[in-house]
Structure formats: structure tokens, C-alpha cells
Chain A
């Protein structure tokens, strides 16, 4: 019974909720609270992306595009269109879903490297639009993002965003766990292992790839909106190529096909640059080195390898 629960994805959700609830009691300063909030925000995007890459087995190198759509929705909506930030966030998430649906239909027919390159192009396209439409987006310098106000309470500061992002991450991880344990999740995992067999069993492969693509886009958009509101500023870098690579790296480093892996990967990539500031100018080199070492010694990703080592997984 205990063993079964430890292996279930819901155990991760519960553990995550406990960690998020307790962490503020032990963190020594608001600086760490801020870092933790950043981790929850990035982890949200990675948990969504993991549904696409880790479960359905479809690579995307352009998810920062959707992250950017969410981020610019909460910037443009209130500033130019008079839409309240909360509503702008929801509209941004819906817009990302619709864009993913429209873009996904043609490009998800591609496989492997071809799909990776197509999604890469998609991401670059968004970044270019955000950089060039300066009347709406402020161009390369970006634009300020107004803080949302809820019942007269101005939502700003690390304390507030720690809780908003933390609670949303728990909900996001719970939804991901639900999907994985459902017929949809089984279909996605089946597609990952053999598209041919999945089709022959009556699975509409194109439909399920699209479902994973749209879901992961919505996760990314919400994370993007949170980061923009947290920072109070958005620039085209939010949807840049490096951001997309960062998401994929977080997912792969932590362990594909593991929700906890995505969160650990996000934590590592947010924390490492903070820890490596002592190396100053060599920060990026050190970061790259850490990644290479992890990939050589634990190619399955940190969490699945650890789980194996501890015997959490059956044969």
C-alpha cells in the first residue's frame, strides 16, 4: 500500500504541497523566498512541457513562444485595452491554447528533428513579433506590467508571489497527475513508445499530440504571465530561444516523464546561477559543465535515476 502510494504521481503532489507550505518557515530571508517563487513559476511551465516531451514524446524547442504570449497578455491587456490583469491572464492562457491548436495541427505531423526545428521556428517568430511591434509591446526594451489588484490588495512582492505560484504549481502538478492516470495519459505514453501500435488500437494519434501540445502551451502561458507580473516588466527575452532551451534543459535534467523531475530540474537551473555567482565571469561555463556531467552520468535525468537507485521503481 505504502509502496504503491510512493510510486503514484499523487505522492509527488502531496510532497510538493508540504514542501511549499513549510519552506517559508525555514528560508532565512526574502531573497530566498524570491528565488523559491521563481522556481515554482518555471516548474509550472516545465510540468506542462513534460506532458508533451516526457509523456507524448514530442519535442518542442519553441515553448517560450507561449510563455511570451502569457507574459505580454498581462502587459498589453491592462495597459492598452483596459482589461483587468486577472482577466488578461485568463485570456492570455486561452490565446496560447488557441495558437497552439492552430500551429500544432500542421506541425505535429512532423517527427523527431523536423518537429524540433519547426517548433524552434515558431518560437523565434513570436520573439520577433514581440520585439518588432513596438507600438504594442514596447519593442526590444519591453514594457512595464501593472500589478494586479484583488479586492483592494495589490499583489506584489516575493511573499505574495511565492504563495500564488506555489499554489498554482500544486494545482498544475495535480492536473498533470490526473491526466497521466487517465485514458488520455495512457494514449500519450503509448504514442511515445509506438505510434504504429497506438494507431492500430484505435488511438487518434494526431488528436492526442494536439491535446498535449495545447495543454503544455497553457501551462507555459500561465507561467509567463506570473513571471511578468512578479517582475513588473516584460521583454522579448521572455519568449526568446534561450528561454525555450532552458525549459527543455530543466525537463531533461530533472528527468523526462517525471513530474517531480521537472520541478527538480527547474529548481536546479534557477538555483545554479545564484550559487555560481562566486565564479562570476565563468558562470555560464560552470553551468554548462554541470549539465554535461549530469547528462553523462545520469542520462535518464536526476529523479528517475535516484528513484531507481532507491528501488522505488519496480523491475
Chain B
């Protein structure tokens, strides 16, 4: 039984087919990367798996349960969380509040208690805040906890999204280009964070263009091109695969990937 199983997934928009017959499994504790050229369908794949788009064909299973077509909030309650390539931070809230929102599912949601702020609500707020501070420390953002998210630098926002996704206590974490727009130091930090997350038994699925990062930390790599799977395997298998070199890495990319 795989943590996450994607079976023959297909989706199109109007006449354009975005994904055809994509299948893979991700196990607990694994770092599974999805790579491919722009427009290969990587983000679309994430959007289908996380329930934002309903698939045209195929199934998605979490721990063997068929979850195809469930709305995102129900998938979240089954342990799936994600970050976004185009940041979806709550920009008007503080960094700590962003992470506190991630604790939503684990909080008591009795609205009547909230209206009158019963002592239990205050106690819960303190617990949620403490948990948020813990997660901010984990991604090294403790010093900006009370700053408005909209005023934070780009690299910090990437890590804030990861902390927020972790707040849901996911079993499966989809990271959409976590290192995009980050400098080498920030990328290094993110790479450490991802490895720490996987070490706790979370199945991590990663979409990323930074080949050094991908080759260094991924256990397995899945390569998409124009919505089709063209290869899957370990870093060394993928970087020597002729089809991958032709479609994506190129000769230069292959050298760069080999150095990682």
C-alpha cells in the first residue's frame, strides 16, 4: 500500500490535453521529484492530485482509499497538504497567523464558543500559537513571526508556505517549486528542510527546476513532457536517459546534473 498512488491520470482543458496516462506511487518517507520542461503539466498534476481540478480519467488514492474528485479541504483532512508555485500566502496576516491557519483542522471549530470566547478558546489559541512558533523556528522564521506576511522577502515566503503546510500535520506534502526565486543560500536551507520533513515519515512530492537540488535530495524522479511520462527512476538513471536529455536536461543540463 502506497501513501499516495496516482493511476493513469488524465485531464484536458477544452481541446488541449494537459496530462495523459500519468501513474506513480509515493511511499512514506520518500522524496519523489517531478521534473520536466515548462508546460509539461507538473503544476496541473499537483492541482489534480490536491483536488483543485477534477481529473478526466484515472484515480488518486491516499493509503489505498479512492479520493478522486474530493474537494481540497476533504483531502487535507486525509493528510494531503501542498505549497504553491505562485505563492498563495495570506499576505495581510502576520507570519504566525498564516501558520496558525494551518492548524485549523486540529482546532475545535464550535462557532458558538468562538462568539463568546470561552476560556477553552483562549487556551486553544495559546496552544495553536505555540505550535506555530515551533514551526516558524523549524523553517528559521522565528524573528519575523509578528510581521505582516506581505512585507517579507521572497525566500522567507517560500519557507512560510512550507511551515503553514506542515501545520496541518500532513502525511503527504506536495511542494511546487519550493526553491523558485531563491538564492543559493536559501536553496540550501530549503533542501535541508525538505530532507528533515521526509525523515519524519512524510511522503514528499516535489516539483522543481533546480536540477542540483532535485538530483541531490530525490529518492526517485518522474519526468513529464507534454503531459506524458517519459521516464522514472533514480537520479543516475534519469540523468543518463536519452529521452530526458533530449526533452529537458540538454547536454549542459546533463553536466550540471552530474555534478550535483
Contact = CB atoms under 8 A, between A and B. Distances in A.
Interface of A: 175, 178-179, 181-187, 189-190, 192-194, 196-205, 211, 257, 314-315
Contacts of B71: 199
Interface stretch (B81-89, B227-235, B245-253): B81-89
B73 A204 contact: yes
What are the 10 A-B residue pairs with the smallest beta carbon separation, nearest first?
A: A202-B76, A182-B114, A197-B88, A202-B105, A199-B72, A193-B90, A178-B117, A194-B88, A183-B107, A184-B114
A186 B50 contact: no
Interface string B108-130: 11010111110001001100100
Contacts of B100: 186
Contact of B97 (A189, A199, A257): A189
B148 A190 contact: no
B125 A181 contact: yes
Contact of B109 (A183, A197, A201, A257): A183
B104 interface: yes
Contacts of A178: 114-117, 121
A199 B73 contact: yes
Given A183-B121, A202-B104, 11 more contacts: A182-B113, A186-B100, A187-B101, A190-B90, A194-B88, A196-B88, A197-B88, A200-B76, A201-B165, A202-B73, A202-B168
Contacts of A315: 147-148, 151
Interface of B: 50-52, 71-73, 76-77, 81-82, 84, 88-94, 97, 100-105, 107-109, 111, 113-117, 121, 124-125, 128, 146-148, 151, 164-165, 167-168
A175 B116 contact: yes
Nearest to A192: B92
A198 B104 CA distance: 9
B104 to A, nearest CB: 5
A203 B71 CA distance: 11
Nearest to A183: B107
A186 B97 contact: yes
A200 B72 contact: yes
B111 A189 contact: no
Contact of A314 (B89, B90, B108, B148): B148
B114 A205 contact: no
Contacts of B94: 314
Given A200-B76, A201-B105, A201-B164, A211 B111 contact: yes
Given A181-B125, A200-B72, A314-B147, A193 B115 contact: no
Contacts of B168: 201-202
A202 B77 CA distance: 6
A147 to B, nearest CB: 30
Given A199-B71, A200-B50, A184 B109 contact: yes
A184 B111 contact: yes
A77 B107 CA distance: 41
Given A196-B52, A199-B72, A190 B84 contact: no
Given A200-B76, A202-B105, A183 B88 contact: no
Contacts of B91: 193
B161 to A, nearest CB: 8
A184 B112 CA distance: 10
Contacts of B50: 200
Nearest to A195: B88
A123 B108 CA distance: 34
B259 to A, nearest CB: 35
A279 B77 CA distance: 60
A184 B113 CA distance: 10
B101 A203 contact: yes
B92 A193 contact: yes
Contacts of A181: 117, 125
Contacts of B51: 199
A181 B122 CA distance: 9
Contacts of B165: 200-201
A190 B108 CA distance: 17
Contacts of B84: 196-197
Contact of A200 (B81, B97, B107): B81
B114 A185 contact: yes
B117 A197 contact: no
Contacts of B111: 184, 211
Nearest to B103: A183
A1 B14 CA distance: 57
A175 B90 CA distance: 24
A249 B68 CA distance: 44
Contacts of A185: 114
Contacts of A186: 93, 97, 100-101, 104
B76 A201 contact: yes
Contact of B125 (A175, A182, A202, A203): A182
Most chain-A CB neighbours within 10 Å: which of B84, B88, B89, B100? B88
B146 A189 contact: no
A299 B71 CA distance: 36
Contacts of B76: 199-202
A201 B125 contact: no
A72 to B, nearest CB: 26
Most chain-A CB neighbours within 10 Å: which of B93, B111, B165? B111
Contacts of A189: 90, 92-93, 97, 101
